Every structure is written in C-alpha cells, then in structure tokens.
C-alpha cells in the first residue's frame, strides 16, 4: 500500500470519527441529563455513547497518519502531542464510553441499583488513568498545536482551533456557562481533527506546501 493511500485512509477514518463524535457530543448536551434517571437509562442515552465510542475508534485509527505526515518536521513536540492525544481519545472516548454503556445496560437490567450515584461515581481503579487523561488532554493538545504550527505541513487554522479549544475548555467550567453548550470545546476539537482528515485526503496538496515552506525558511536564514 502506498503512502498516499495510507494517508487518505487515515483521512477518511478521521472524518468519520469526527462526525460521529460531534453527533454524540451534540446529543449529550441537548438530550442527556446526568441528574435524571429517565434520560440516563433511555435507549437514546445508549445510542449516544455507542456513537461516541465508534467515533473515537475511528479517530484512533486515523491519528497515526497525522503524526506520520508531519513527523520529520514536528519533532519531539509532535510525537508527545500525538501520544497524549491518542491516550486521551482511548481513555475518554472509548473506555469511558464503553463503561457508560455497560452501566446503562446493568441499570436497565436491574443488575445494579438505578440511582444517580451509581451513574456519576466512577470505578475507584480508574482514578489514576483519569488524572493522566486530564493532564494529557491539556498538554497533548497544546504540544500538537505548537508542533503543527512549527511543522507547517497542515493548514495553520487547525492548530489555532486546538488552542481555542483549550481556552474554551476552561471557560466551560464556569457556573454561568450554559449546560447545553458544555461540550462545545470537545466539538471544536473534533472539527480540528476533521481538518486533519480533510488535509490527509489531499496529500498532493501538502506535498506542494512543504517545498514552499522550506524555500521560505532557507531565504530567511540567508
């Protein structure tokens, strides 16, 4: 399989994953209430987490293509950013969603008590992994954004959108921020990932961007 085909397959995976993730985030924000058992145990709630889980799996499959495409220019920052983001997607997008699906299924089957406490209390063993994902979410997005800006392989708006996502992620914790928009930062992050996907679908265009960048850098050094 040629590198061009590999990049395009990664791009397709990122686009599919991003669309499914955005749908999941939108449905969570507007239809899922963590304090309402009726919505928690509804079929719609299960569908939301199934979409999010499948979307995250597609993103995991596509992210290596992003790293490989700019690895030489992104350097160590790009590698660390990729690893952090991959872990965060695995933990928050796949494992957490899968745990939610299992909890919903057990609650509807009356295997575990139907209570908000059961829904909102994570397994004790997950605490260290959750803390790593929180740190990785911030550090990984920032490092990948900086590496993308430095590499100049992908469109720069993707990196800036990741930085906006970080800022907005902090704002969403404010009490005055609307609950329906609580996933806005995650949605913008998914749009940035979709931007990687679109760029990978046209690897020839990226090839034309790199020589121009190299010539500019050489002229500046001269």
The pLDDT value given to residue 57: 96
Confidence band (pLDDT; 50, 70, 90) for 130?
confident
The structure's pTM equals: 0.83
Q: What mean pLDDT is predicted for residues 132-159?
A: 92
Q: What mean pLDDT is predicted for residues 120-124?
A: 75
Instruction: Give the residue carrying structure tokens 């850098």.
Output: 217
Residue 2 has pLDDT above 80, yes or no: no
For the stretch 157-179, pLDDT in tens is 999 999 999 998 888 777 777 77
Percentage of residues of the chain with pLDDT beyond 70: 87
Q: What is the secondary structure of 68-98 as a DSSP string?
A: HHHHHHHHHHHHHHHHHHHHHIIIIIIIHHH
Alpha-carbon gap, residue 150 to 108, rounded angstroms: 50
- 133: tokens are 């994902």
Alpha-carbon gap, residue 62 to 60, rounded angstroms: 5
Higher pLDDT residue, 71 or 220?
71
Q: Considering Cα of 73, then 77, then 78, then 79, what sign does the dihedral take?
A: positive
Lowest mean pLDDT among 7-11, 132-136, 199-203: 199-203
Distances (CA, A) of 50 to 27, 53, 107, 111: 12, 5, 16, 20
């Amino acid at each position: 399989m040629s590198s061009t085909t590999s990049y395009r397959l990664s791009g397709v995976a990122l686009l599919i994953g991003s669309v499914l993730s955005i749908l999941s985030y939108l449905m969570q924000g507007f239809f899922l209430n963590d304090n309402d058992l009726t919505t928690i145990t509804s079929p719609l709630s299960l569908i939301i987490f199934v979409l999010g889980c499948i979307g995250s799996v597609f993103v995991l499959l596509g992210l290596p293509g992003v790293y490989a495409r700019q690895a030489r220019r992104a350097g160590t920052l790009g590698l660390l950013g990729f690893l952090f983001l991959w872990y965060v997607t695995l933990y928050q997008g796949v494992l957490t969603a899968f745990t939610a699906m299992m909890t919903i299924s057990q609650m509807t089957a009356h295997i575990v008590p139907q209570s908000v406490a059961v829904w909102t209390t994570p397994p004790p063993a997950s605490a260290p992994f959750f803390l790593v994902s929180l740190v990785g979410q911030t550090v990984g997005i920032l490092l990948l954004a900086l590496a993308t800006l430095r590499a100049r392989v992908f469109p720069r708006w993707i990196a800036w959108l990741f930085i906006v996502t970080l800022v907005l992620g902090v704002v969403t914790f404010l009490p005055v921020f609307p609950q329906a928009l609580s996933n806005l930062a995650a949605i913008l992050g998914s749009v940035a990932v979709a931007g990687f996907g679109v760029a990978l679908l046209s690897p020839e265009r990226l090839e034309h961007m790199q020589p121009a960048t190299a010539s500019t850098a050489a002229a500046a050094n001269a």
